[in-house]
Amino acid sequence: MNIGYIRPIKRYTEAGQREALDAVGCEQVYVEGEDRETLSEAIQCLRKGDALVVHRLFLLAEPKRTTKDRPRKSLWIHLRAIEAKGATVFEASTGRSSKDKRDCILFDAIERLSGNVSAENGAQSAGRPPKVFTDDELAQAKAAWESIKHSTVAEAVSHFPHGFSQARAYALWGARYKSDDK
């Protein structure tokens, strides 16, 4: 059974979303009003094998103005609740469904954006990729870090290659101890 969910916003009006959901063939449609309980009701009525049909996936997320947390986290929570019911999500505007294996990447992307990253497949969290240093740059940084002629950590860090941080040095080589035989 296809169950529709509509959250009207400026760009996607209720009438436009309803037209898209009618084209898919939704037997029941929930329209969001002033309260956010409508989405919870729609999720509660889902059964195994049902599909929650939305015009665009992001309409399942909390609006930015009503949550201190980022909307993508609430989107992830709603998607997991739907998945736990044995139901799927169908995006009417693109025809994508979480039922297809290839579109399960949808859940993985949201999971990564929310900071809920699984260790399987070597997944890394979203954000800037780690900086890569050559062996010479690492050797230069290690020599500066372990050198006894630099009396402070700040002095040692000033001799690091560009982009090499104090935090990275601590992570790689631990705390810096000053030698007694200076």
Each of the 182 residues of the chain gets a pLDDT tens digit; together they read 899 999 888 888 889 999 999 999 999 999 987 666 788 888 899 999 999 999 888 788 777 665 555 667 777 788 888 888 899 888 888 887 777 654 555 665 565 555 555 544 444 555 667 788 888 988 888 888 887 667 777 888 888 888 888 888 888 887 765 443 44
Whether 112 and 142 share a structural domain: no
On whether residue 127 sits in a domain, the answer given is no
Structural domain includes residue 182: no
What's the pLDDT score for residue 77? 83
Same domain, 139 and 94: no
Say which CATH number the domain at 92 has.
3.40.50.1390
Same domain, 85 and 150: no
Contact 141, 169 (CB under 8 A): yes
Q: Closest Cα partner for 53 from 33, 28, 78?
A: 28
Q: For residue 168, give its domain range.
A: 135-173
Q: Do 16 and 89 fall within a single domain? A: yes
130 in a structural domain: no
Q: How many domains does the chain have?
A: 2
CB 145 within 8 A of CB 165: no
**168 in the same domain as 79:** no
**In this structure, are 79 and 167 located in the same domain?**
no
